[in-house]
Amino acid sequence: MLARTLDRLVWEGSFGEVAHKEQRRIETALKISGLPFIKGIDEFDFTFQPKLDRQKVMPLFDLTFIRQNGNSTTY
């Protein structure tokens, strides 16, 4: 029982460390890129590009096409 608990603790600690390193890697890459700010899809101006259909783009961000066994290129 104690061995399983220790194994679990080590695994969770390792996972947390990997996640933290990945977050730091992303933050560093963004700083190096010189981009002035980070924008999310919620801030995208769809009126700027009228040919881009918001109804088709948004499912790509919530990954519904995966649950439907779809392909991102079919949207």
The residue-averaged pLDDT of 1-26 equals 77
- Is residue 32 domain-shared with residue 2, that is, in the same domain? yes
- Is residue 8 domain-shared with residue 28, that is, in the same domain? yes
| pTM, entire model | 0.42
- Is residue 48 domain-shared with residue 72, that is, in the same domain? yes
- Is residue 44 domain-shared with residue 33, that is, in the same domain? no
The residue-averaged pLDDT of 46-54 equals 89
pLDDT of residue 72: 66
Domain count, the chain: 2
Distance CA 52, CA 50 (A): 5
**Burial of 59 per CB tally in 10 Å (0-12, 13-18, 19+):** middle
- Is residue 63 domain-shared with residue 31, that is, in the same domain? no
Mean per-residue pLDDT of the chain = 80
Out of 1-5, 21-25, 34-38, 63-67, pick the least confident: 1-5
Distance CA 59, CA 31 (A): 29
Domain that holds residue 67: 39-75
